Amino acid sequence: MSHLSGKTIAFLVAAEGIERVELTDPWQAVTDAGATPVLLSPEEGDVQTFDHLDKAETRPVDKTVKSASVDDYDALVLPGGVANPDALRTDEDAVDFVRDFVASGKPVAAICHAPWTLIEADVLKGRTLTSWPSLQTDLRNAGATWVDQEVVVDGNLITSRNPDDLPAFNSQLLESIAHGAAAQEA
């Protein structure tokens, strides 16, 4: 399967606290579809993934988010894990990149706790999405409508609740990359 040949997908994560499967499953899905995944992070080096609270594998960063351009990517994936998006939302370059990516109209896929970074980027007013249930008050306070569904698409935003939703999340991500996504006006 190589229907995404020539596409480059950014995966943005902090230095640690990434839920491993929320990075590796979408990464494998885009790779299997012929796209090139690129790991972005605020700092160079390796990032530490976790299986819930237990350390899992490390992965090398391909490029710092500060040196990345939205123009170079066809989609953005924001994996979850509690500490990962919490750290990203305190990094100005990461928040700016996410804000600019959402504004570009290209697909932005966020799973589990990752919408915290979308909140910080102030891009959720009038949007409908899902997340890990504990984020629903934060999302509503940011002007979004929260729903409890395995995958939600609103314009160029694709969101899912947790690792159990990865098959639907990955399928929608690939569909949106292949057929494009246009940002809806709020």
CA 63 to mean position of chain CA atoms:
16
Q: Which one of the listed residues 3, 52, 112, 179 is annotated catalytic?
A: 112
Q: Please report, in angstroms and rounded to a whole number, the separation of the first and last CA atoms in the chain.
A: 35
**Does the annotation count 179 as an active-site position?**
no
**Does the annotation count 113 as an active-site position?**
yes
Beta strands 54-60 and 128-129 are unpaired
- Rounded distance between C-alpha atoms, residue 130 and residue 36, angstroms: 27
Q: Which residues contact 25 (CB under 8 A, 6 or more apart)?
A: 163, 166, 170
**168: β partners:** none
Q: Which one of the listed residues 3, 52, 113, 179 is annotated catalytic?
A: 113
Q: Which residues are catalytic?
A: 112-113
